[in-house]
A and B are shown apart, each in its own frame.
Chain A
Amino acid sequence: MSVAPRSPNMNWLPLPPNLREDLRAAMDPSNPVDRLEKLASLAAYRLGFLESVQLDQAFGQLNLKQALGFLSIRLAILSSSTVDHLAPAIRVAGLRRRLLIDVHNGGFGQYQQDVLDPSSLLHQFAPQVILFSLSAREVIGNVPLTATLEDVDGIVLKFIGELRSLWRKARETNSATIIQQTFVDVTDTLFGSYDRLVPGAPMRVVARLNDRLCEAAAEDGILLLDIARVSERDGIEAWFDARRWFQGKLEIAPQAAPLYGDFVARILAAQHGLSKKCLVLDLDNTLWGGVLGDDGLEGIVVGEGSATGEAYLSVQRYAKQLKEAGVILAVCSKNDLEAAETAFRTHPEMLLRRSDISAFLANWDDKTENLKTIAARLNIGIDSLVFVDDNPVERARIRQSLPGVAVPELPDDVALYVRCLSDAGYFEAVTFTSEDRHRTDLYTANAERAALLGSAQSMDDFLRGLDMSVVSGPFTALDHTRIVQLFSKTNQFNATTRRYTSEEINHFVKLPNVLTLQFRLLDRIGDNGLVSAMILRPTGEDQVLEIDNWVMSCRVFGRGLEFEAMNIAVEAARHLGIKRFIAEYIATPKNNVISALYPSLGFAAASDPEVANGTTRWFLNLADYATCQSHIARAGVGS
């Protein structure tokens, strides 16, 4: 009897009830949009290799490159092993996040030629994202076992250097985002534990490659797809099967394709601001053991002293760490509000404190309504929420009523909760800035401001009382990461939803005729951080600039910053001899809040106002511009 193949763990996704029948039903003649919605909902389940292929086949039949409410992305995979079997799972994981991913596979082992030859199929495909999936084999083969550390470093750095010039070339020709897969360790041991002390031992070479790769990626602003780490976590047997390598040069085992696809889609989603933002936690048997209402404050299990208590504490610790990484925490529990808050304020073993929670809802209402309230209070989309609840009935209900909310299939054992949340990858990031570290403080500060608003006589009083000031100027190198992030994460105040890679932002900054502006808002409660950015580019017409995009963080909505920002933009443009602005508003499911932005700033509708579905065009003659009123002073220029 042979041993069954091992598969990577995807336990946070619920098992499909009856996939084969559902797929058949989804394929019944109906319009393609309904079918797509049905397939996207099936993609939310835990699908194995075969199920992913089946769903992908059904998706392929629709032959849809674009659909309303879905984001289309062209992804090219360049590889030194066979990767054809990964494409279906990548597309399925895309559907799981409402992405339509068009996958192009470069020729096996052809990645250098693909990048360097301007007439290659790769360039014809015009990818927005290029994923390099390379094997460490070609490097290991060049390192003799007797190599010194210097020898190894020389070979590794030469390889990484060549890779970097390929990244650069690929970026230049396609202005694509580059993702590099980390090197999977499929090596075998030679000396046993002593391998680690031999620089030329294959496993050491792979480790060195990954070290140098990470340094290069950080320097060049390349994103990593960390298959090396996840394959160690699941066990290399779940990711690599020597038989598949011999059979067809597959370095990623087919049973790992579904998780590989999910890893790819996480990064693509993160890049487009679609990662989750808020962790919503149930209380009883999720953050502590027992039921507060029945067992009382003394009866709940949490903290040192019992193994179970420590396990619950580990959940709290992980939530606290996520908060430090910029994730907003919320509570949604069927409990008495006062009793629940008291537990946070007074229970000595509680690690999470009331002040860690940005929205605290404890009542007996339906959790669907409570989740909607949480999203509204925090001013984030409902699909930015992750709902963590030990009760399978509540989970099933939310999955059904709010399909955009991520609901992990929590294991039965609290000891495994953290692993489940961490494996699910809900909070995948493509940047991490000091703004993130302080994001939750900013939400708390906003709650203070909301309290101030409550006591103010009028909105005007409130705004005046805030003593706001703005620091503005062109994009600075110091704020580069934050600017890239603002454009990639903002969904509501986002005029055109054009996203820019780090490279593209740098490109704009260097162009002489482009006007870039960044805005930092301060008030008496604190620094709101860099909250808005605008790019104005030439149109070809003399003395005219078009607002290519303008974004503003939702945490400063309603403060009148858009008015002062436009005052500043007009002044800066007049300085350059500009006579007219053109602006476009491209409607998405999320940016309705600014549909009337440009008319409110004095822009007039262009003669062809409705260009396409939900897109409106506007213009402003700077000579006619009447300075907008605001309560925001100028604090100076700079960052």
Chain B
Amino acid sequence: MTDQDILTKFDGILRGLLLDDSIVLAMDTQREEVPNWDSFNYINFIVAVELEFGVKFKIADIESFADVGAIVTQLKNMAA
């Protein structure tokens, strides 16, 4: 799965959570740049990604993902 494949799935998840079809995430997107992506919806996003990809992130990773790309990279590491 390429970075872009994962980003596209992320888009779908976040659009569903925030009811905003204009969301397009990039590797360097930070949470603060996306309207309404607050800490509550961050938890929801992480949960939805974990359920979709069948993984569990470590609590320390969840707390320190610097941008969307960090989540993508971690996902790929876990799948490897």
Which residues in chain A, 62-99, are within 8 Å of chain B measured between CB atoms?
A: 84-85
The 5 closest A-B pairs by CB, nearest first: A4-B54, A57-B19, A54-B16, A50-B48, A254-B47
Which residues in chain B, 50-80, are within 8 Å of chain A measured between CB atoms?
A: 50-52, 54-57, 59, 62-63, 78-79
Which residues in chain A, 26-51, are within 8 Å of chain B measured between CB atoms?
A: 48-51
**Interface pair A49/B43, CB less than 8 Å apart:** no
B59 — which chain A residues lie within 8 A by C-beta?
Answer: 243, 246-247
Q: Which chain B residue has the least Cβ–Cβ distance from A51?
A: B16
Q: How far is the CB of A437 from chain B (nearest CB, A)?
A: 43
With known contacts A3-B56, A85-B43, A50–B51 Cβ distance under 8 A? yes
Q: How far is the CB of A89 from chain B (nearest CB, A)?
A: 12
A84 — which chain B residues lie within 8 A by C-beta?
Answer: 40
Question: A54 vs B16: C-alpha distance in the bound complex, in angstroms?
Answer: 5
Size category of the B interface is 20 to 34
**Interface pair A49/B51, CB less than 8 Å apart:** yes
**Interface pair A4/B47, CB less than 8 Å apart:** no
Does A61 belong to the interface (CB within 8 Å)? Answer: yes
**Interface pair A49/B48, CB less than 8 Å apart:** yes
Question: A57 vs B15: C-alpha distance in the bound complex, in angstroms?
Answer: 11
**Interface pair B13/A50, CB less than 8 Å apart:** yes
Does B26 belong to the interface (CB within 8 Å)? Answer: no
Does A589 belong to the interface (CB within 8 Å)? Answer: no
Which residues in chain B, 14-66, are within 8 Å of chain A measured between CB atoms?
A: 16-17, 19, 39-40, 43-44, 47-48, 50-52, 54-57, 59, 62-63
In-complex Cβ contact of B17 among A1, A50, A61, A250 (8 A): A50
Q: Mark A236-273, 1 if CB is under 8 A from B, else 0.
A: 00000001101110100111000000000000000000
B63 — which chain A residues lie within 8 A by C-beta?
Answer: 247
User: Among the interface residues A3, A7, A50, A248, which one has the most CB atoms of the partner chain B within 10 A?
Assistant: A50
Which positions in A face B, CB cutoff 8 Å? 1-5, 7, 20, 48-51, 53-54, 57-58, 61, 84-85, 243-244, 246-248, 250, 253-255
**Interface pair A7/B51, CB less than 8 Å apart:** yes
In-complex Cβ contact of A1 among B48, B50, B51, B79 (8 A): B79
**Interface pair B19/A4, CB less than 8 Å apart:** no
Q: Which chain B residue has the least Cβ–Cβ distance from A244?
A: B43
Extra A-B contacts (7), CB below 8 Å, given A5-B47, A254-B43, A254-B47: A1-B55, A49-B48, A50-B16, A247-B59, A253-B47, A255-B47, A255-B51
Which positions in B face A, CB cutoff 8 Å? 12-13, 16-17, 19, 39-40, 43-44, 47-48, 50-52, 54-57, 59, 62-63, 78-79
With known contacts A49-B48, A53-B16, A2–B55 Cβ distance under 8 A? yes
With known contacts A50-B17, A247-B62, A5–B56 Cβ distance under 8 A? yes
B44 — which chain A residues lie within 8 A by C-beta?
Answer: 49-50, 53, 85, 254
A255 — which chain B residues lie within 8 A by C-beta?
Answer: 47, 51
B56 — which chain A residues lie within 8 A by C-beta?
Answer: 2-5, 243
**Interface pair B13/A248, CB less than 8 Å apart:** no
Question: A61 vs B21: C-alpha distance in the bound complex, in angstroms?
Answer: 14
Q: How far is the CB of A427 from chain B (nearest CB, A)?
A: 30
A61 — which chain B residues lie within 8 A by C-beta?
Answer: 19
Question: A254 vs B12: C-alpha distance in the bound complex, in angstroms?
Answer: 18
Q: How far is the CB of B37 from chain A (nearest CB, A)?
A: 14
Question: A247 vs B13: C-alpha distance in the bound complex, in angstroms?
Answer: 20
Can you report 11 A-B residue pairs in the complex whose CB atoms are below 8 A from each other? A2-B57, A5-B47, A7-B51, A49-B48, A50-B17, A54-B17, A243-B56, A244-B43, A247-B43, A247-B63, A255-B51
**Interface pair A48/B62, CB less than 8 Å apart:** no
With known contacts A2-B78, A4-B54, A57-B19, A49–B47 Cβ distance under 8 A? yes
B12 — which chain A residues lie within 8 A by C-beta?
Answer: 20
B47 — which chain A residues lie within 8 A by C-beta?
Answer: 5, 49-50, 244, 253-255
With known contacts A84-B40, A244-B43, A5–B16 Cβ distance under 8 A? no
B39 — which chain A residues lie within 8 A by C-beta?
Answer: 248
With known contacts A85-B44, A243-B59, A247-B43, A53–B17 Cβ distance under 8 A? yes
B54 — which chain A residues lie within 8 A by C-beta?
Answer: 4-5
**Interface pair B62/A243, CB less than 8 Å apart:** yes
**Interface pair A250/B43, CB less than 8 Å apart:** yes
Question: A246 vs B59: C-alpha distance in the bound complex, in angstroms?
Answer: 8
A3 — which chain B residues lie within 8 A by C-beta?
Answer: 56
B19 — which chain A residues lie within 8 A by C-beta?
Answer: 54, 57-58, 61
Q: How far is the CB of B26 from chain A (nearest CB, A)?
A: 22
**Interface pair A5/B40, CB less than 8 Å apart:** no
Q: Which chain B residue has the least Cβ–Cβ distance from A243?
A: B59
Question: A49 vs B49: C-alpha distance in the bound complex, in angstroms?
Answer: 11
Q: Which chain B residue has the least Cβ–Cβ distance from A24?
A: B21
Q: Which chain A residue has the least Cβ–Cβ distance from B55?
A: A2
A54 — which chain B residues lie within 8 A by C-beta?
Answer: 16-17, 19
Q: How far is the CB of A380 from chain B (nearest CB, A)?
A: 39
Question: A3 vs B39: C-alpha distance in the bound complex, in angstroms?
Answer: 24
A244 — which chain B residues lie within 8 A by C-beta?
Answer: 43, 47
Q: Which chain B residue has the least Cβ–Cβ distance from A5?
A: B50
A4 — which chain B residues lie within 8 A by C-beta?
Answer: 50-51, 54-56
